[in-house]
Chains A and B, each alone.
Chain A
Amino acid sequence: MQVSLNGALRAGANGAESIEIEAATIRELLTKLVERYPDMQDHMDRGIAVAIDGVIYRDDWTQKIPAGAEVFLMPRIEGG
């Protein structure tokens, strides 16, 4: 599965725009991400959201990732 990285997160993955990770859930995706790129932990601490087919998941790590989904990692935003 190809996972695209928002520009703000690429520094944590040696500058990569996208990476290949096999994961069935957001939890698995983020766990494997940090295993492979330890520098990503800083971004994890600040918060990462996962967009699956355009729907942004900020918190629910149990969310399943369907086969063939567009997956995009981005900073976890808040608001006013």
Chain B
Amino acid sequence: MAHDNSYTGQKFEVVGNRFLRPDGVDKVTGRARYGADANAPGQLVGLVLRSPHAHAIIKKIDTSRAEKMPGVKAVITSEDLPDLTGGDAGMAQTLENCMARGRAMYDGHAVAAVAAVDRQTAKKALQAIKVTYKKLPHVTDVDEAMKPNAPVLHPWLFTAGVDPKPEKPSNVISRTQMGHGDPEAGFAEADVIVEKSYKTEQTHQGYIEPHACLASVTPDGQAELWVTTQGPFTYRSVCATLLGLDIAKLKVTSSEIGGGFGGKTHVWVEPLALALSRKANRPVKLVMTRDEVFRATGPTASTSIDVKIGAKKNGTITGATLELRYQGGAFVGMPWAQLACMTGFACYDIKNQRSVGWDVVVNRPKVAAYRAPSAPMAAYAVESTLDMVAEEIGMDPVNLRLKNVAKEGAQAPYGPIYGPIGIEAALKAVKKHPHMKAKLKKGQGRGVACGFWFNIGGQTCVDLNIGTDGTVNLAVGTVDVGGARASMGMIAAEELGISYDDIKVVVADTASLGHNDTTEGSRGTFSSGMATIFAARDAINVLKERAAKMLDVPVEDIAWEKGEAKAVGKRYSNLPKLSLKEIARKSPNTGGPIAGHNEVVADGAGMGFAAHIVDVEVDEETGLSKILRYTVVQDAGKAIHPDYVEGQMQGAAVQGIGWALNEEYVYGKDGRLENPGFLDYRIPVASDLPFIDTKILEIPNPNHPYGIRGVGETSIVPPLGAIGNAIANATGVRMTHAPMSPVRVLDALDEAAGMDQKVSAG
């Protein structure tokens, strides 16, 4: 049954409150069961052998010694994973990324795996596998990979989107261009033009919980997978395809998740665990080490970006261009640079703009989504350059942004016209925020930057079952990455008119609910929220039918108000109201169980916009930039549970701060990752940071009954630009390479000082 998803301005009694989180006790007492916490009788330990080379032909894999070792129950290579992808190039590359097929494409690429009775035996078995490699030239830098003399990773890769079509293969997957107007004409109108080039390094999502799973395949083709994932249904379909299993016979259960942020939207070791279990005929538990997580799961792209912005002295931007080069690792995956083309100028109404994206392969692990994928890097370049334009024309940087801000009716860089959006409101909130008036000392600086992310919806399915005592089970299929159980429970309580405490929400396994798309793209609350509203209304229709029977009146005369059914009309004035609990108690005798259900394609997601303010203090002796104060302003559409919304805004900002100041993959000349651990790849911890202040704006999404927009991703976008602007404000030096680590800041300060000396000497 089709439902109207329009925003109605409904008044709320439950939504908007700050209830205790339902997973809190389990998580603080250690009861919560994560990916590595499941066990099965007779389970084996799975381990993976990985390439030590950045690029090499695998001439031979000799597993004979390992297979003969006592306690070793299975050894697999790519020969145990035949290509069943049926010509699906993307799926074939997923298979090859899970297990090398003749060539190791990056340091850490899996080449074999074992299952043994214990970890010690499994480790010895890995050591007993002899792999003969022939090293090949490698390239890990995006700009180097695009040069004509770069080692070519794939002889079949010819650049798409260029004219004429290339005759030789290269590492450039595709060229994408989008925009509108005439940027060159815009530059001709400009009073000032600023051009700048930037680089950003590769970062990892840094989820605390490594990838982990327990796989069990039986000889009759039945299989189960317990796994930490953002998308159990996607894992099910991908693993079923790669292993040749029937989708319905593979049951995937998502564990509690210790962070994902996009990195747990893709399969990495799960097909290997299933293949090992199938070969050993025993359950196999496979838990990645942190070293493996860094080397062989999906970090974000490293990039190289050129920006050109022209403006009139009054601040009007007349033209702007972006050239974006993004490496996606060793395989063709999502078009990351294309995404950046769509987001770079999205906060602004620029009549003449062009963004050109180049997607490139290098000898690094296959890139995965990371919270608003591709947007933070483009925003770093755009927001930094905007501050330089403001300085050139002597205008306040916030006023420059407000002068050009995108509003309803403006054309987005990717084409369509915006509906109601919140970036102007966010910038106005920034402008009047007390943070902007706080005094700064010498060596301190303040920066502001904006950010955009699309947000998405997608396929969604929920079940709502009412028990005979009137308490309610709600089964959702989007993983609880940031408050789904609390917010879905609140929405169900709101609709049914009952207490939040009477609702228990579970994340269902794949055998218990219809398909749900992966929890990504800030879709969880938007999509499952919509399905929960409709499922609850479906259940209310049943409740009204049962009440009609109990009261012996036509169902058309029954209304549902605040958790009670009542017969409407003077002739029914002597009839009692019936509560949900009363109707539920009688349900065995009025028709059986009472349930609501909904499956929906939740389209019409509302765009997410944010503006951030940051104060930094730069130590000019060490180059260390300390965050003194940080404020996030973001449009949530409607904050269902404000604590969780603020948590998303804070968490995203902190990840952006880490990206801006510390985090980067460091590759040696040998193409090997030199810092695959949290000691050398340093994410910010609580003691590094001040309290991250938040301000939630609520500009309703017209395409959701409650006005919900996604909130999970947008606030990772502004921090790089905001911090770059704050460092420039503190030191007078513009940083163009993220992370803006102490050594890079020192180099930039030294370079600036040297230039000053040259100027004064000259």
**Once the chains bind, are B341 and A70 in contact (CB under 8 Å)?**
no
**Once the chains bind, are B603 and A58 in contact (CB under 8 Å)?**
yes
**Once the chains bind, are B603 and A78 in contact (CB under 8 Å)?**
no
Which of A46, A59, A80 has most B Cβ within 10 Å?
A80
Cβ–Cβ < 8 Å partners of B161 in chain A: 8, 11
Residue-wise interface mask of A (16-33) relative to B, using a CB-CB cutoff of 8 A (1 in contact, 0 not):
000000000000000000
**Once the chains bind, are B604 and A79 in contact (CB under 8 Å)?**
no
Which listed residue (A8, A11, A63, A78) contacts B369, Cβ 8 A?
A: A78
Q: How far is the CB of B568 from chain A (nearest CB, A)?
A: 34
A79/B372 contact (C-beta < 8 A), A7-B179, A11-B160, A59-B458 known? yes
Cβ–Cβ < 8 Å partners of A4 in chain B: 415
- Give chain B's interface residue range (CB within 8 Å of chain A): 35 or more
**Once the chains bind, are B338 and A75 in contact (CB under 8 Å)?**
yes
**Once the chains bind, are B373 and A80 in contact (CB under 8 Å)?**
yes
Which listed residue (A8, A55, A59, A79) contacts B338, Cβ 8 A?
A: A8
Cβ–Cβ < 8 Å partners of A54 in chain B: 416-419
Q: How far is the CB of A9 from chain B (nearest CB, A)?
A: 9
- Whether B136 sits at the interface, judged by CB under 8 Å, is no
Q: Given the complex of chains A and B, what is the CA–CA distance between A63 and B703 in angstroms?
A: 13
Chain A, residue nearest B606 (CB):
A55
Chain B, residue nearest A17 (CB):
B180
Number of A residues contacting the other chain (C-beta, 8 Å)? 25
**Once the chains bind, are A59 and B603 in contact (CB under 8 Å)?**
yes
Residue-wise interface mask of A (43-63) relative to B, using a CB-CB cutoff of 8 A (1 in contact, 0 not):
000100001011111111001
Q: Given the complex of chains A and B, what is the CA–CA distance between A5 and B180 in angstroms?
A: 11
- Whether B455 sits at the interface, judged by CB under 8 Å, is yes
Q: How far is the CB of B458 from chain A (nearest CB, A)?
A: 6
A8/B335 contact (C-beta < 8 A), A59-B459, A77-B342 known? yes
Q: Given the complex of chains A and B, what is the CA–CA distance between A7 and B342 in angstroms?
A: 10
Q: Given the complex of chains A and B, what is the CA–CA distance between A59 and B602 in angstroms?
A: 8
Cβ–Cβ < 8 Å partners of A55 in chain B: 419, 603-604, 703
Cβ–Cβ < 8 Å partners of B160 in chain A: 11
**Once the chains bind, are A79 and B523 in contact (CB under 8 Å)?**
yes
- Whether B553 sits at the interface, judged by CB under 8 Å, is no
> B residues 359-418 with Cβ under 8 Å of A?
368-373, 414-418
- Whether A6 sits at the interface, judged by CB under 8 Å, is yes
Which listed residue (A53, A58, A80) contacts B370, Cβ 8 A?
A: A80
Q: Given the complex of chains A and B, what is the CA–CA distance between A72 and B419 in angstroms?
A: 14
- Chain B interface residues toward A at CB < 8 A: 160-161, 176-179, 205, 261-263, 265, 334-335, 338-339, 341-342, 368-373, 414-419, 453-459, 518, 520-523, 601, 603-605, 703, 713
3 A-B pairs closest in CB distance: A79-B521, A80-B262, A7-B178
